[in-house]
């Protein structure tokens, strides 16, 4: 019987010429694959978190742009590029905080600008191949993060996660879970503690689901329970993913991450950010420059309830992310190595 780990988080259907994703809003109860060809459908899938996680968003957007490029009827290169730029700008607007989205789409556009003499049909094929290359690279990046991360852990360690930076957020392995999956294969017998991650419950619905499916010892907890675990000495490391890292190391990740980091520092638990270098934005000096996405109030008041859980008219604050100050971060685990600050990457 197939488990969630046997499905591709993001894929390309060559017969339908479509982007294929797992609809993560239906998990863990239903595994439903979506085939997407329209620009609005792809935009909505990203915005509505049907596909989510910075690396997966980047790959999905790249494949999505290739799918949309295939449908552009213009044979004139200038007209083709104008239509492609419009598609790119539209997709970028879906999730402003995750830098992988713009990074992947910019890389796709460079394929076209780097081949000035190519025909429209040749460009369409190049775009598809670049998108598929991005997927292959994501898998390799995550594997390397797993290998480096594993050097920081010991068999039997208790590891706390927040949100979902697992296989469902990438094309394979995940970022924060990559050391966990590799360690599991090698008999490390980790104990995983998973924050439920309000208000969208990515930890409860996604991380706990995929780790349990892999046969890993996993315990789910409400977000406000992590201090209790650390106080009891049950957590030896915190591993989280990221959506954007500023040049000074300030890191945007799912809302609540900065709370976990502050608690970890209080109890002397190392707090590591698993960061593909594609998430590091050297053009943003600090976290003050990271745009934080504000989401619909109904995600808090209605989404998981048969009836509203708060009185009508109550104001609701619902940022998708917060920024963890670099002083709270023990290190960044990248595919190039482990560093204390992004600037150290230049010396690797």
Catalytically active residues are: 243
CA distance 261 to 265: 6
CA distance 67 to 39: 9
Long-range residue pairs from 328-331, CB within 8 A, at least 24 positions apart, any chain: 328/258, 328/261, 328/262, 328/264, 328/265, 328/271, 329/249, 329/251, 329/261, 329/271, 329/272, 329/273, 330/270, 330/271, 330/272, 331/152, 331/270, 331/272, 331/273
CB 123 within 8 A of CB 133: no
Beta strands in 114-236 (DSSP E): 158-161, 191-195, 217-221
CA distance 49 to 43: 10
| Phi–psi pair at 245, nearest 5 degrees | -115, 125
Nearest C-alpha neighbor of 275 from the set 240, 299, 231, 304: 240
CA distance 226 to 231: 9
CA distance 254 to 321: 4
CA distance 9 to 325: 31
Nearest C-alpha neighbor of 163 from the set 229, 96, 260: 260
CB 115 within 8 A of CB 123: yes
Output the six-digit token pair for 348.
């690797």
């Amino acid at each position: 019987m197939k488990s969630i780990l046997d499905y591709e988080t993001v894929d390309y259907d060559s017969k339908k010429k479509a982007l294929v994703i797992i609809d993560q809003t239906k998990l863990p109860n239903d595994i439903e694959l979506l085939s997407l060809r329209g620009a609005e459908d792809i935009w909505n899938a990203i915005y509505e978190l049907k596909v989510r996680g910075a690396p997966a968003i980047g790959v999905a957007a790249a494949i999505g742009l290739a799918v949309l490029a295939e449908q552009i009827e213009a044979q004139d290169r200038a007209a083709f590029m104008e239509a492609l730029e419009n598609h790119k700008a539209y997709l970028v607007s879906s999730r402003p905080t995750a830098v992988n989205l713009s990074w992947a789409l910019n890389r796709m556009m460079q394929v076209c600008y780097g081949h000035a003499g190519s025909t429209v049909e040749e460009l369409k094929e190049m775009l598809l191949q670049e998108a598929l290359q991005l997927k292959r690279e994501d898998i390799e990046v995550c594997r390397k993060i797993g290998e480096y991360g594993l050097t920081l852990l010991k068999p039997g360690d208790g590891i706390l996660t927040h949100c979902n930076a697992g296989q469902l957020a990438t094309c394979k392995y995940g970022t924060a879970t990559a050391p966990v999956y590799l360690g599991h294969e090698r008999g490390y017998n980790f104990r995983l503690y998973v924050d439920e991650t309000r208000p969208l419950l990515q930890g409860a619905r996604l991380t706990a689901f995929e780790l349990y499916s892999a046969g890993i010892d996993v315990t789910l907890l409400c977000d406000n329970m992590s201090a209790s675990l650390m106080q009891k000495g049950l957590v030896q490391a915190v591993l989280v993913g990221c959506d954007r890292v500023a040049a000074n190391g300030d890191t945007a990740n799912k809302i609540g991450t900065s709370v976990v980091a502050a608690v970890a520092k209080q109890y002397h638990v190392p707090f590591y950010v698993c960061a593909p270098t594609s998430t590091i934005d050297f053009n943003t000096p600090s976290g003050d420059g990271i745009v934080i996405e504000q989401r619909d109030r109904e995600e808090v008041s209605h989404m998981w309830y048969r009836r509203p859980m708060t009185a009508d008219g109550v104001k609701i604050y619902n940022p998708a992310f917060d920024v963890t100050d670099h002083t709270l971060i023990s290190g960044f685990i990248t595919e190039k190595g482990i560093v204390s600050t992004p600037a150290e990457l230049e010396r690797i």
